[in-house]
Amino acid sequence: MKAYYGDVVGSDGKHRYSDGSRFVSDTERQVEDAKRYLTRRLDRTTCRAG
């Protein structure tokens, strides 16, 4: 778990993910994939409506 999230302890003592962790890169990739998917779906819907 720590290797994936990059365990960083903040000044408040709480554990957080590291900005350079695999969790962050996986999340960014998933968001980009979702944006591309939605763009394609919206383009297809717009073409049918027009």
Tokens 């903040």, residue located? 10
Cβ pair 1, 16 in contact under 8 A? no
User: Can you tell me which residue has the tokens 């969790």?
Assistant: 23
Residue 26 makes CB contacts below 8 A (sequence gap 6+) with none
Q: Is the pTM of this model over 0.75?
A: no
| Average pLDDT per consecutive 10 residues, the chain (50 residues; last block may be shorter) | 92 94 97 96 77
To the nearest 10°, report the CA torsion of 13, 31, 4, 16.
Answer: 0
